[in-house]
Amino acid sequence: MKIAISGKGGVGKTTIMALLARQFKEMGQEVLVIDADPSPHMAQSLGVDQPEKIRPISEMKDLLRERSGKVEGSAFYNINPQVEDLPERFIVEADGIKLMVLGAIQSAESGCACAENTVLKRLLTRLLLKPAQVVLLDMEAGVEHLGRGTIAGVDRLLIVVIPSRSGIRTALKIKKLAQECRISNVSFIGNLVHDDEDEQFLREGLGESPLACFPDATAIRRLERKGRPVTDALSEVGQITAELVAALQNN
């Protein structure tokens, strides 16, 4: 199962993906989480030791240039770069959950970043190929990555949305772009939902019921402030997370 997650900035997509990773792992699944956000925070959310020392691959400019075969001043580069050794070199682990901090190319140092993006996309494709794994892909906020076709190859896209008009507008835009990218299996996940009124607001605005709705959990906020893994709050939202995993497996 290959699942990507997206949504408006600040809606809690990284937290929900970390909870999903822990739930799948506790069910005996081999789990790989790929953090493809320009500001990656998944390492802290999962409880990786010394997360501040992890450098996203997208920031390893020398490595990306070397693998792309691009020569400075030239427009030519290798469109089939060698990346087979990179997962073993850069995957870290926390409590049985594997994590690759991919990051995202935000801007080139000079000129076009096409060569660097080619290496990152090929690496991402390779990480998505292993059939036995549950692969969870934490994408950057917004909709730009869909326009670049970054999540081709995933089985499902989850769009996290909070009960606000701007959140719903962004979520619907992401769904539309996903469908244009031929990702047909798209679901909404509600977050920071306080009551039935919030759930009804989401249903009416989205035109469908979210696959699951997570509350504004006090335990998660406290853990994050203390720099502890948010997965320690699974006991507080465990039933919702387990029901979400069951829904993902059955649909």
CATH number at residue 28: 3.40.50.300
Instruction: Report the pLDDT averaged over residues 66-91.
Output: 75
Alpha-carbon span 69 to 53, nearest angstrom: 27
pLDDT of residue 111: 45
Helices 234-250 and 13-26, packing angle to 10 deg: 80
Q: Using the predicted structure, report yes or no on whether residue 88 has a pLDDT greater than 80.
A: yes
Count of domains observed in the chain:
1
Q: Which tokens sit at 115?
A: 């060569």
60-74, 110-124, 198-212 — which one is most confidently predicted on average? 198-212
* Domain that includes residue 100, residue range: 2-250
pLDDT of residue 103: 83
Read off the pLDDT of residues 40-76 as tens digits, 9 standing for 90 and up.
788 888 888 888 888 888 888 888 888 887 656 555 5
Residue 199 pLDDT level (bands cut at 50, 70, 90): very high
Alpha-carbon span 75 to 118, nearest angstrom: 13
Beta carbons within 10 angstroms of residue 45's beta carbon: 29
pLDDT of residue 150: 63
Alpha-carbon span 219 to 31, nearest angstrom: 24
pLDDT of residue 110: 39
The pTM score is: 0.85
Alpha-carbon span 191 to 234, nearest angstrom: 15
Q: Mean pLDDT, the chain, as a whole number?
A: 83
Q: Which residue has the higher pLDDT, 97 or 76?
A: 97
Residue 208 pLDDT level (bands cut at 50, 70, 90): very high
pLDDT of residue 200: 96
List C-alpha distances in Å: 17 to 70, 136, 189, 235, 236.
Answer: 35, 7, 11, 15, 15
Q: Using the predicted structure, report yes or no on whether residue 148 has a pLDDT greater than 90.
A: no
pLDDT of residue 44: 87
- Those residues whose C-beta lies under 8 Å from the C-beta of residue 129, and which sit 6 or more positions away, are none
pLDDT of residue 107: 44
27 in Cβ contact with 129 (< 8 Å): no
Of 26-30, 71-75, 114-118, the poorest mean pLDDT is in 71-75
Q: What type of residue is 71?
A: V
Q: Using the predicted structure, report yes or no on whether residue 177 has a pLDDT greater than 90.
A: no
Q: Using the predicted structure, report yes or no on whether residue 7 has a pLDDT greater than 80.
A: yes
Of 8-12, 60-64, 113-117, 138-142, the poorest mean pLDDT is in 113-117
Q: Which tokens sit at 124?
A: 């991402």
Q: Using the predicted structure, report yes or no on whether residue 174 has a pLDDT greater than 60.
A: yes
Q: Using the predicted structure, report yes or no on whether residue 113 has a pLDDT greater than 70.
A: no
